[in-house]
Amino acid sequence: MPYITTSDGTELYYTDQGEGRPVVFSHGWPLSSDAWRKEIKLVADAGFRAIAHDRRGHGRSQQTYHGNDIDTYARDLRDLVRALDLHDVVVVGHSTGGGEVVRYAAEYAEGRVRKVFTAGAIPPVMLKSETNPEGTPIEVFDAIRAGVLGDVSQYWKDLALPFWGFNRDGVPFSQGLVDDFWRQGMMASLVAAYDCVKAFSETDQTEDLRALDVPIFIAHGGDDQIVPIEAAALKTAEIVSKGTLKVYDGAPHGISGAYQDQLDQDLLAFIAD
């Protein structure tokens, strides 16, 4: 399996498919690059080079005790792009991966990024505060941490329901999606899964969004129960200078079904332009 070694000595697994201009994918918490398997094939089939890595502490990458924060994630992405000598890159991030690619493009891109695409992304900041009343209360994130430290195997199965919107009336249930969420979640180290909660909920990326000088496509499900749209995409669209916002009515946080079909069409159109 292919690996690169980051500047702090961490081994990151990645997959690399196709040829052409590069498109680099960053996954959400607590998943792995497997979450992008369909998009990797579609993008490679469309004539691009599709690359996706497992974030440190997740999937097949090294399980480190330190560095489970947005800035380190972004520097790891920089190291991957450097190691593969990629240029003219489109970076694509879902959820926490959206925060990762935004920080990377704003601070560490070194002129290599031409576009950014996010879906259900965490910026600008998820945590509720006096200056962010639309955010999510700290008690919700404390409950997530308690779930991770408790019966984590059952917690991933429980979390999969709102992640995919299966707790909503009329949404077709897929045991396969629940099982795959559990599988990927169980591959993450407990330290990484726990520490990443603070990373994705408390990192204020307002200045990252202001610093972006390339086009960004901001995709978000209208019924996202994990990263509510009011404190995320709607605010991001107001902050960035070259943003395109698209809300997918009734779509959840997890990318599947009709939502995935439409998102993939929009992604292919965005990277081809």
Q: Which of these is catalytic: 53, 94, 253, 256?
A: 253
Residue 52's SS3 state is strand
- Ordered alpha helix ranges (H), the chain: 37-45, 70-83, 96-103, 138-149, 152-164, 175-187, 190-202, 206-211, 233-239, 257-272
Q: Which of these is catalytic: 95, 189, 201, 256?
A: 95
The tens digit of pLDDT for each residue in 177-217 reads: 999 999 999 999 999 999 999 999 999 999 999 999 999 99
What pLDDT does 273 receive? 87
Fold assignment, 3-272: Rossmann fold (3.40.50)
pTM: 0.97
Q: What is the mean pLDDT of residues 166-178?
A: 97
224 is catalytic: yes
95 is catalytic: yes
The tens digit of pLDDT for each residue in 97-143 reads: 999 999 999 999 999 999 999 999 999 999 999 999 999 999 999 99
Q: What is the mean pLDDT of residues 248-262?
A: 98
pLDDT at 1 over 80: no
The tens digit of pLDDT for each residue in 17-39 reads: 999 999 999 999 999 999 999 99
pLDDT at 156 over 90: yes
